[in-house]
Copies of this chain bind each other. A is one copy, B any other.
Amino acid sequence: MVTIIPNGHSLSNAAVSRKLTTMTSTNIPPAPARGPADHDVRDQIVAAATEHFSRYGYEKTTVSDLAKAIGFSKAYIYKFFQSKQAIGELICANCLREIEADVSAAVAEASQPPDKLRRLFKVSTEASLRLFFQDHKLFEIAASAATENWQAVISYEERTRKLLRDVLQEGRETGDFERKTPLDETVASIHLVMRPYLNPLLLQHSMDSTDRAPALLASLVLRSLSP
């Protein structure tokens, strides 16, 4: 059971900012041919923006506010990011990649497809709760991303469906799962079952059930997959 609550600021702003700076350095492909100095500036902007958004909110902050707070000119920020959303996308993409890393690791640790599926349900709910709600204002970015269907979200959903498909395919090969239903249909319907615990907009209204839902739903899905 995950005990994090929506507004529980379980990390200080500075900690979130340090964490995301590290994530930025390790997870994001380098900006095209601007050299390491530019790279550092991008990281600085993302770190400062994360801290600023965490404190004042993403929606309400403009690039001008951000520039003023960071001590850079607006024009200088625009040299590195074409819009506020571009900064938000980077923060959001890092957040989603962290969820994915947790889920993939948990799935890889299990040896049998049914157990992989159980972990997929459990860990994706737990990781989504932790990443979207650990800091109220990161939820705000994730919510904007989901509402406006940012590219980071579309790619994340595609990769989640791919992971699910791989587990199902493996279970069909081992004989753990039935093979009569078209694989596309199985993937689409199981993804719909998981959606309230993956999408931050639905997750915020599913808090009452996050302790018991992953196990109950995984069991139901496993019964539906029985050969």
* Chain A positions near chain B (C-beta within 8 angstroms): 146, 178, 181, 185-186, 188-190, 192-193, 195-196, 199, 201-202, 205-206, 209, 212-213, 216-217, 219-221, 223-226
Contact = CB atoms under 8 A, between A and B. Distances in A.
B199 A205 contact: yes
A49 B226 CA distance: 52
A193 B220 contact: yes
Contacts of A189: 216-217, 219-220
Contacts of A217: 189, 192-193
Given A192-B216, A193-B217, 8 more contacts: A186-B220, A188-B212, A188-B216, A189-B216, A192-B217, A193-B220, A199-B205, A202-B205
Nearest to A223: B224
A226 B178 CA distance: 12
Nearest to A209: B192
Nearest to A181: B223
Nearest to A196: B196
Contacts of A186: 220
Contacts of A209: 192, 195
Contacts of A216: 185, 188-189, 192
A55 to B, nearest CB: 26
